[in-house]
Structure formats: C-alpha cells, structure tokens
C-alpha cells in the first residue's frame, strides 16, 4: 500500500524528517507515536501533499505510484486521506457544497457518474447518523464555528463519505472527550477492511484502546527509533518517552 524509503524532509530550511522508513500493507493499522516536535505531523502533511515542505531525499510509493510526484488533489483521489490535526475554518464555503464537490471529484476520477441530489443527501444522512453528527452542522460553512470535537468528528465524517484506501489520522484524539473518542473510533473501525490501511498519529495510548494497531512506531527527532506490536503503546503510556530517549543516548 505505502512504502516510505529514507524520507528526508525540510521545512523552511530545517530538516525535520531525517530518514523515515515505513512499509504499510493493505489492511494494517500503524500507530505513530512520539513526543512533541518529533515530526509526526510533518510526516502526515508531506504524505498528503502540502506545499512548502522540501523533500531532500527518499522515495514514497503509494499503490505502486511515486506519491511525491502527485499533487495533493491527485493523492486524495487515489485514496489517501488526511484527517487534519487542525481542520481549517472556511467561512462562505457551505459544508454541503464542499462535500458534494469533493465526493463527485472522487467519483469522476473513478469513472462514476456524479451522485444525484437525492443519493447524496441519503448518503450524508447515513454517515451523519453513524458519527452522531449534529445534522445542523452540514448547513454551516466548512468547520466555521465548530467546536474542537465537532471539527474532529467532521473529519471522520468526510473520511466515511470518501472511503479512502489509506487514512492518516493526525492527532484525531486530541481535544476529544471519551464519548466523542469512542464515536470517532467506531467511525474509523466501521471502515476497516482487508483493503484499507490506517496510520494513527497520536501522543497518547488511549485512542489505541479503540483503534487497535498492528504496529506501533516511535518517531523521535525525525527518525523512527522503535517499532513493535501494540504492547509498545502501553509501555509508552506507562513509562513515558524518557526511557526511549535514554535508550538512544
């Protein structure tokens, strides 16, 4: 699904990622943990195609294609989805227009006809119910005036609509109370299939109680310094990151 080889990335001249290697197979869930400033969000953004990130070295292949050659929108349409750590408020762009345009762009790419208004509304209704999303939210502008929790739910709602092959959840748990966290996790798990993969970027182990990873990686100072099974997350929760730092020192 996704293979990252020796990926080095700089932002404004500063090297943030210093040689990432990662291999994600269909159906797998990978957790990327690590202290603040270790480069977790940079990894998510660079995979999603955010500009002003300078790739210094390395390769990323996604479904057999050179991911780094593709524009952000192409990556999205091929099935890569980033759930934003900080979803952007876009006043004046109605949620409904945004979702419809996004969904139909995806369908066009797959050679499908655009959804009719009725089909679209039905699909929205289903997914909204699944995520217990306030039905009024889709009458507003994109993320405008949403609470932190609503924004995160809205990300997963979009993911549920677009059904990506690879979802990158960038700190989707931060700022969520336990009920919202469960709903979000349910939404993610509902999409789980042998063809879909997930990268969960998080600080904390708690989300991983609900979205159970196959692998846990620790990102520290721009490198993956430790990889193991889901038990690593528990160990990190218990001991913090200091023991890893010490181990490396």
Closest approach, Cβ 93 to other proteins, in A, equals: 4
16 vs 76 by CB, closer to other proteins: 76
89 vs 186 by CB, closer to other proteins: 89
98 vs 241 by CB, closer to other proteins: 98
Closest approach, Cβ 182 to other proteins, in A, equals: 25
Cβ atoms of 80 and 47 within 8 Å: the answer is yes
Closest approach, Cβ 51 to other proteins, in A, equals: 7
Picking from 244, 246, 247, the residue whose alpha carbon sits closest to that of residue 35 is 244
141 vs 174 by CB, closer to other proteins: 141
Which residues would be at the binding site for other proteins (CB under 8 A)?
Answer: 48-51, 71-73, 75-77, 81-82, 84, 87-88, 90-93, 97-98, 101-102, 105-106, 109, 141-142, 158, 162
Closest approach, Cβ 101 to other proteins, in A, equals: 6
Closest approach, Cβ 214 to other proteins, in A, equals: 25
Closest approach, Cβ 116 to other proteins, in A, equals: 19
Q: Rounded CA gap, 92 and 142, in Å?
A: 8
52 vs 136 by CB, closer to other proteins: 52
Closest approach, Cβ 97 to other proteins, in A, equals: 8
73 vs 179 by CB, closer to other proteins: 73
37 vs 91 by CB, closer to other proteins: 91
- 208 Rama sector, left if φ>0, alpha if ψ -120 to 50, beta otherwise: alpha
Picking from 6, 15, 2, the residue whose alpha carbon sits closest to that of residue 48 is 2
């Amino acid at each position: 699904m996704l293979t990252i080889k020796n990926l080095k990335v700089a932002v404004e001249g500063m090297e943030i990622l210093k040689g990432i290697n990662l291999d994600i197979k269909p159906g797998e869930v990978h957790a990327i943990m690590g202290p603040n400033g270790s480069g977790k969000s940079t990894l998510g953004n660079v995979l999603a195609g955010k500009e002003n990130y300078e790739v210094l070295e390395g390769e990323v292949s996604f479904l057999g294609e050179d991911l780094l050659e593709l524009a952000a929108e192409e990556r999205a349409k091929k099935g890569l989805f980033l759930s934003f750590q900080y979803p952007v408020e876009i006043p004046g762009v109605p949620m409904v227009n945004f979702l419809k345009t996004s969904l139909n762009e995806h369908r066009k790419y797959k050679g499908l006809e655009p959804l009719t208004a009725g089909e679209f509304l039905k699909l929205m209704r289903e997914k909204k119910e699944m995520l217990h999303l306030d039905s009024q939210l889709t009458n507003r502008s994109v993320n405008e005036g949403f609470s932190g929790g609503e924004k995160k739910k809205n990300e997963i709602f979009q993911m549920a609509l677009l059904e990506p092959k690879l979802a990158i959840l960038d700190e989707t748990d931060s700022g969520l109370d336990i009920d919202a966290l469960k709903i979000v996790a349910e939404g993610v798990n509902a999409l789980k299939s042998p063809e879909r993969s997930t990268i969960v970027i998080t600080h904390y182990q708690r989300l991983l109680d609900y979205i159970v990873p196959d692998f846990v990686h620790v990102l520290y100072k721009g490198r993956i310094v430790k990889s193991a099974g889901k038990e690593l997350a528990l160990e990190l929760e218990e001991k913090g990151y200091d023991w890893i730092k010490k181990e490396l020192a």
